[in-house]
Structure 1
Amino acid sequence: MKYRHVVLIVILILVIDQALKFWIKTHMFMQQEFIIFPNWFRIHFIENEGMAYGLKFGGDFGKILLTTFRLVAVVVGFFYMKKLVREKYSNGLLICGSLILAGAAGNLIDSMFYGIIFNDSIGYEVAKFLPAGGGYGSFLHGRVVDMLYFPIYEGYLPKWVPFKGGDYFVFFRPVFNIADAAISTGVIAILLFQKRFFGRHLEVKEVKEVKADQAV
């Protein structure tokens, strides 16, 4: 796998992620939703100030810090992926790394620019792209657009369930986006297959070192 393949994967994920977010922003108002598959999949428009799956971090200063950290991480990530390609790590690891890098870049674009290029979604108003009166925020103060919602189970838990018995429960509650999904998929796959990804590379490296010693 070559470095250009990494770049192509990142671009593909970014295009899908940003196209869906752009459509959501310009066609839906806040909290509006469309039911795709009854009882388990909906398009539900929300925005969040912070990390993946709606988590928050440190108010206004935290927002700037988080966005700056994302920017640095994305830049460093491209250089690191180039290093992995040069050292011939497995295609599986490179694909996972590309997914994580694409997801980080996707949410970074929201945080950096969406406050400038979109006005706010208030009430039943749909946001406009490049509004005459300016956007809802400044550079680095954009909100991340989320829309994928999978409430696979909704209902009251049985009384015998510890601590939460009798409470109304939703699984899976977080609303997320394509970028979040790419990051999660990449991280989970690396955790599950780390021995295969890294072990095979170490074996190849050891074989090369042995051959080099024998040649000497």
Structure 2
Amino acid sequence: MRKLEILKYRHVVFIVVLILLVDQVLKFWIKTNMTIAEQFAVIPNFFYIHFIENEGMAYGLKFGGEFGKIALTLFRLVAVVLGFIYMKKLVKEQYHKGLLICGALILAGAAGNLIDSMFYGLIFSESTRYELAQFLPAGGGYGTFLHGNVVDMLYFPIFDGTFPKWVPIWGGEHFIFFRPVFNIADAAISVGVITILLFQKRFLHKKADDAAPSIETGAVVDDRQQVM
């Protein structure tokens, strides 16, 4: 393996480990220091830490009940394994550095939520509106393997107001823009995907091979070099 490939692998691994570390440290803190639906303002009227849990996909979306929960967790596991394999391929084939960074963000995000789904039910007691969760409780966790809930906490109600009465259907009703609550892993996935879509023409190509040496105009070629 060439030194350049090793260096790129290290960059990818560093990004994945950094995102996972920040994601999991924040989730552990939230889980053990806040009750469900508790919140506090980081930037008033703009950015809040608001603790919720979800059983499904990113931004609180759900998928197919109990069977869907297991299927989604297994899908995440397969996606993470294949993601690592595919990232190795991208590095080896010298794709654009921007694509490698975005791929690392997506991979780290998928792995972050996978950890919640696989293990949080085993290592934490249940979070409620009245009690904090305990880490490694004596009576065991709130769920089983593959049945953990994903911890979400980032909330940006950028605009909180009321629709004008002249607006059809929703006129006079209260609304919040941007309502979803998410986590660092969700944000990493979103940033990676959106950036790839915006810069796909630049990212989705391999690094050009070194140009073959050419013969200068007017140079004399030894006929003996042309003989096999």
Give the TM-score normalised by structure 1. 0.93
Alignment-derived partner of residue 97 in structure 2? 91
Alignment-derived partner of residue 221 in structure 2? none
Distance 2:171 2:202 in 1: 41
Q: Which of residues 160, 171, 181 is equivalent to 1:165?
A: 171
Distance 1:17 1:130 in 2: 19
8 Å contact from structure 2 (residues 125, 133) kept in 1: yes
Q: Which of residues 103, 107, 117 is equivalent to 1:111?
A: 117
Q: How does 1:1-216 map to 2 (within 5 A)?
A: 2-199=8-205, 201=206, 204=208, 211=212
Distance 2:188 2:165 in 1: 37
Distance 1:30 1:37 in 2: 20
Aligned amino acid, residue 62 of structure 1: G
Tell me the number of residue pairs that the alignment of Structure 1 and Structure 2 aligns. 210
Distance 1:101 1:180 in 2: 11
**Cα deviation digits, residues 171-215 of structure 1 (max 9, x gap):** 00000000000000000000000001124x37x25xx5x749x9x
Alignment-derived partner of residue 220 in structure 2? none
Aligned amino acid, residue 114 of structure 2: L
Distance 1:153 1:126 in 2: 30
Aligned partner of residue 63 in structure 2, secondary structure: coil
User: Displacement of 1:163 after TM fit?
Assistant: 3.0
What is the identity percentage for the equivalent residue pairs of Structure 1 and Structure 2? 72
Distance 1:121 1:180 in 2: 21
Give the TM-score normalised by structure 2. 0.88
Q: Which has the larger radius of gyration?
A: 2
Aligned amino acid, residue 42 of structure 2: I
User: Displacement of 1:123 after TM fit?
Assistant: 2.8
Aligned partner of residue 2 in structure 1, secondary structure: helix
